[in-house]
Amino acid sequence: MQVGNGNFAFGADVTGLQTFLPWAIMSSWGWKNDSLPEGKTWADVEAYKGASWDFHGRLVQYEFDGEPEIQQWLISNPNRVNLGRIGLLLMDEGGRAMNITEEDLEDVQQELDLWTGTITSQFSFSGERIVVRTYSAQSSSTVGVDIQSSLVQEHRLGIFLDFPWNDGSAKFSAPFVGTWNATSNHTTTLQLGSEGAGIQAEITHTLDSAIFITSIGGDKFSISRDSLQMHRYSVLPSDARSASFSFSIAYSPTQFISLPTVESIAEESTTSWSQFWMKGGFIDVVTGSSDPRAEELQRRIILSRYLMRVNEAGDTPPQESGLVNNGWYGKFHMEETFWHLAHWALWGNWDLLDRPLGVYHRFLNSSLQRAEVQESFTSGARWSKMTDPSGRSAPGEINELLIWQQPHPLVFAEYEYRATQSKATLEKWKYIINETANWMSVFAWRNPSTALYDLGPPMYVVSEDTSPNITKNPAFELAYWKFGLGLARKWMQRLEQNPPRIWSDVEEHLSPLPIENGLYAVYEGIEGNFWTDPAYTNDHPALVGLHGWLPPIPGVNVAVAKATADKVYTAWNVSNCWG
């Protein structure tokens, strides 16, 4: 189970903390750079260049196939950090820490209250009942915990904090993030007291050049480091008269100014979550249904809304696994932003959607640089695929030759305008719309033999499984290009400005969608037996998006699109596809 706020999430085991399993404490802001490879300097990073490939008679410089060690460093850095671990500490009657397992607990009960964002965990240990309530602040990366048990009075119950080493050595870190036994790679230091209000102790965690500060407050406690060779700390409540122990723990890249109390965290969580449920929407499959599966389906729908709010409502688009664990070093993928974020528009959660969409404004300059300086296109912004809060593209053929992420901001902007119908929205997105469409128009190549505009080569299609140097005029990308350029043209017309002529020229004269044997093909000229070749029938089945995800578009035959979708249903390996 998790509590969180979109920028911060705390994963809990059956104790409501991380006593037995080191589920991650993740954030949208917690990143680090590893040390450079031995013998390499920042000058090597700044001088790094990738390969140059032919693009219709001129060379385009990409970021892949450069010096291998620097390339891999750029791929894996920065990487997202697991901020730590909080668990229950149980002592025997002599005050010695006990090594317990989940099997030592009895009568375990756990409930996640979706209305308040509260995990309540109840269980018995040595005949004594323990109740743990876990909350997440909504305006900071803080977890609040309230523990009720007679074991607190008996000095037999406290908590421990631990801190893992994090680096970019693993592309995927799941189910757990970080390495707990590489203690010599990093440092932690304890400071009692702080200038921040409500903070009794701070632990500074240093990983290479990255620094993270853990601030602890609440009921009075004592804290000590278990061993100089470890990064584990024991926290014991000081008030022997009380059967409760409440504490707040905040994580930050800088010193915390004021640590909220558990009571204020719980109140903020309740208010924020109740507003979320009252202002948003969801699919009702129970009302009017006699299907016995409806209740379970409804439960899963509601739970998914909660999990999206915890994991996918941050200041940057979420990574594939949200704030649960790490994939692709914790980086996020701009082509997936539609699937991760568009639902916020559907359910009216514009405050949550506006958070991550800010990256399009922050990444505009780097995207212009990528297109006009690095790749020498005449104009426009080319949006990255695999990236991080800096907006820099991680090197890789797929990362730099994929194109279907390009029209996404046009769609997000259109959704916002439909909701607001305001001049402010038109102005807000104007430059992003303009530079997005500019690059789309100059990437399309006018083929002199057909007098039509081709897409590619080189490029990767949505499914990322074709050869980029022969991939030309893929069906889905052609349709999405036409749709996107139409949105951009209408946007400028709403602003009473004339869109560049090249936009409509490309929109109106794109090559037709390729058809083979009455069905749309992945790309023009693909081998005739691709429907039976497993190399092409795994991963994203983008052909089903031609009509349904995309609205009716000139040049897309609905009957052919439907027949193609039917063929995908029978021919695609849906047990091994993403999205």
What's the pLDDT tens digit per position in 279-317? 988 899 999 999 999 999 999 999 999 999 999 999 999
What is each CA distance from 70 to 37, 67, 131, 173, 387, in whole angstroms? 7, 6, 50, 22, 16
Block residue for tokens 């043209």: 489
Six-digit token string for 124: 């018995």
Give how far Cα 559 sits from Cα of 345, 511, 569, Å.
Answer: 29, 19, 15
Side-chain-side CA neighbours of residue 33 (13 Å): 12
Close Cβ partners of 247 (under 8 Å, ≥ 6 residues apart): 144, 145, 159, 216, 217, 218, 219, 221, 235, 262
Q: How many CA atoms lie within 13 A of 528 on its CB side?
A: 2
105-116 pLDDT tens trace: 999 999 999 999
Helix/strand/coil (H/E/C) assignment for every residue in 133-159:
EEEECCCCCEEEEEEECHHHHCCCEEE
Fold of 2-33+82-266: Beta-galactosidase; Chain A, domain 5 (2.70.98)
Q: What are the pLDDT digits (tens) for 36-61?
A: 999 999 999 999 999 999 999 999 99
pLDDT at 239: 86
Q: How far apart are CA 530 and CA 451, in angstroms?
A: 28
| pLDDT for the residue numbered 107 | 96
Count CB neighbours of 80 within 10 A.
29
Residue type, 90: L
Q: How far apart are CA 145 and CA 87, in angstroms?
A: 11
pLDDT of residue 94: 87
The distance in angstroms from the start CA to the end CA of the chain is 24
What Rg, from alpha-carbon coordinates, does the chain have? 27
Q: DSSP class of residue 200?
A: -
DSSP per-residue string spanning 62-105: -SSSS-HHHHHHHHH-SEE----EEEEEEB-TTSPBP---GGG-
- 27 and 8 in contact (C-beta within 8 Å)? yes
How many Å apart are CA 523 and CA 404, to the nearest integer? Answer: 14
**253, 211 Cβ separation under 8 angstroms:** yes
Quote the Cα angle for 472-477-479, to 5°: 115
Which residue type sits at 39? G
Tokens of 159: 């908590």
pLDDT of residue 250: 98
pLDDT for 578 equals: 63
Distances (CA, A) of 107 to 17, 20, 125: 17, 17, 9
Positions of the chain with pLDDT lower than 70, given as ranges: 577-579
